[in-house]
Chain A
Amino acid sequence: MSKEIDAIKDPGLPEHVLRRADTDPIAARKAERQVATLFTLSSLGTITLIGAYFFIPQDVFIFFPVLGSTNAHQLFLGLGLAASVFFIGMGAIHWAKTLMPDEEVVIQRHEFRSPDEDRAEFVKTAKEGAAAAGLGRRSLIKRSLGLSLGLAGLSPLVLLRDLGPTPGDSLSKTSWKAGTRLVTDPGDRPIKASDLEVGAVAQTLPELAKGEKRTLPNIARDAVLLIRLRPEEFNLNAERLSWTHEGIIAFSKICSHMGCAVALYEQQTKHLLCPCHQSTFDVTRAAKVIFGPAARPLPQLAVTVDSEGYLVAQSPFTEPIGPSFWGRLK
């Protein structure tokens, strides 16, 4: 460490420089007035807040540059509150900076390490305590205590069991059955194949039986997007083609990646885009993933028409819809 010896020397704490307010009473008074002004501004802020709360109705709108037409109640309430606290802060800091003593103080640090005798004392006490309890000698107690502590840790887990039911096969099931009509969301109107022009989409849900109520968990599994293309635009295998009806193809709207509603259909490119993570699916190839993080196509719902010409599901979904999970294929 020879280098450290001829290191450049520490010149030590610089001399304290007096402020103007320390030497000049006029400057000191000026600073005092500035602080008082700042505190007064704060009071004005509070008055603004009270005035806005009681005297500006909530439905008054004024024009304010940058903000446009804006709610006066909310604006003045906020600006009043902001001024009332902000200027207390400004005043206090200005006071501290200009008028309170500004000479820096030096204090010494202490070492955190306890003195050796304290440490030795501690170790001794701890050992004595352990010996007095006799944990080391009485191995039967030690073992049974360990066991009971471990088991006791299980009880919160057990007690939390009723947080929810086990999933069972509910993640793999939807309300779609063979013959379920597709109805508009919202509106619940059944849809005829002829209702859709080429290039049209429809957001649909399964028709409800009388007296049934649609719940959000249902919608989270059942939402389906209908799209009509020209039949010759499809590039599907025979089975998948048989799942379409005159160019009408149906997909689960719940993204196979993380469950957002995938419904950004680009009519020209025939691509579906998920707005959450930008997975892109090619409708003509049974929603094959062509971009983004999704690993699987959107499940396709086989559709046909019933005797009255309304669009219905041919069969339930053949795979679980929505995001993947461990037992998805079981």
Chain B
Amino acid sequence: MKHLSRFRRHRAVAPLLLIFALLGIGTTFSVAGAATSNPISAAERSALIKEGEQIFNRGCSSCHGINLEGGGVAPSLIGVGAASVDFQVGTGRMPLADMSAQAMRKTPLYTEKEVEALAAYVASLAIGPEIPGEEQLNYERDGSVAEGGELFRTNCAMCHNFAGQGGALTQGKYAPTLMGVLPKHISEAMTTGPQSMPVFSDKTLTPEEKLSVIKWIKAVEVEPALGGASLGRVGPVTEGLLVWTLGLGLLVGVAVWLAMKAR
């Protein structure tokens, strides 16, 4: 973090620090939320599962079936685990808003507490990937940003683009941008493989490596404009558009002025 910590020394970095702070707060909250769910008593746990069951039956069972068995359009939820529920519902992808090519990230319908209950209920019926704990998400302390970058470029960049901005898949599907996604959700996506995304097993991409990937994504997210406006970080297409509009526009503008007769 030598490079990034140098950014922080200067007072003019206030807006950046604010983003940092907000992100930090956000992560602490989510991490705390995940962490507190572990040491709860058996009674509290069964109450949580009960609540989750009620929410499920009201909001999810019409598609996913009363026994999580799935239906025509909806997959079975048996064995998807708490991580999957937390990702899908916690990022607002579920419940689906419409039948477009794929579920979009949007404002979650359920509160954090309700998501937790839903996840506990689904996880109580069959074993599956768990919501990652604080240990696996503390990217500010652990992980290596350079290694994360290399892993990202090998495993993620082909869909999510070199800077995590997202990209097109076939038939209107797309890999979403990773900017502004909670570390918890990034981690869950890698373990559960939501929608088009494949699963990245803990054996082939270890939890430590996943943390490094998150660390790199977060570093890129807050990386300031080193060379000026980023143009969306999508490569040469926007650069070409800027040359033909602003670049040539300015030059032809001056040329017209130059050739105009003065009065």
Contacts and interface: CB of A to CB of B under 8 A. Distances in A.
Interface of A: 17, 19-21, 59-63, 66-72, 74-75, 78, 89, 93, 97-98, 102, 184-187, 189, 191-192, 195-203, 227, 261, 263-269, 271, 273, 275, 278, 280, 291
Interface in B142-177: 147, 150-151, 154-155, 158-159, 167, 169-171, 173, 175
Interface of B: 6-7, 9-10, 12-16, 147, 150-151, 154-155, 158-159, 167, 169-171, 173, 175, 193, 195-201, 203-206, 209, 224-230, 254, 257-258, 260-263
B224 A93 contact: no
Contact of A60 (B12, B14, B197, B205): B12
Contact of B201 (A67, A78, A195): A195
A67 B228 contact: yes
Nearest to B198: A201
A174 to B, nearest CB: 19
Given A69-B224, A70-B224, A74-B228, A196 B263 contact: no
A291 B227 CA distance: 38
Nearest 7 pairs of A and B residues by beta carbon: A195-B203, A69-B224, A200-B199, A70-B225, A202-B204, A201-B198, A266-B196
A59 B171 CA distance: 44
Given A61-B224, A97-B258, A267-B199, 15 more contacts: A17-B261, A59-B7, A61-B13, A67-B225, A69-B225, A97-B261, A97-B262, A195-B203, A196-B201, A196-B203, A199-B193, A201-B199, A266-B170, A266-B196, A291-B170
Given A195-B204, A200-B200, A267-B198, A69 B6 contact: no
Contacts of B158: 261, 263-264, 275
A102 B193 CA distance: 72
Contacts of A62: 12
B102 to A, nearest CB: 9
Contacts of A63: 12, 14-15
Contacts of A203: 154-155
A78 B94 CA distance: 47
15 contacts: A61-B16, A69-B224, A75-B228, A97-B260, A102-B261, A186-B154, A187-B206, A195-B201, A195-B204, A202-B204, A227-B198, A266-B173, A267-B193, A267-B198, A268-B195
A280 B169 CA distance: 10
A61 B169 CA distance: 36
B10 A61 contact: yes
A61 B224 CA distance: 8
B152 to A, nearest CB: 11
A204 to B, nearest CB: 8
A183 to B, nearest CB: 10
Contacts of A201: 198-200
B73 to A, nearest CB: 12
B6 A59 contact: yes
Contact of A186 (B151, B198, B224): B151
Contact of A266 (B169, B206, B209): B169
Contacts of A268: 195-196
Nearest to B260: A97
Nearest to A96: B258
A191 B226 contact: no
In this complex, which of A63, A266, A275, A278 has the most chain B Cβ atoms within 10 angstroms of its Cβ? Answer: A266
B262 A98 contact: yes
Contacts of B226: 70-71, 74
B198 A265 contact: yes
Contacts of B195: 267-268
Contacts of B209: 187
B15 A69 contact: yes
B153 to A, nearest CB: 10
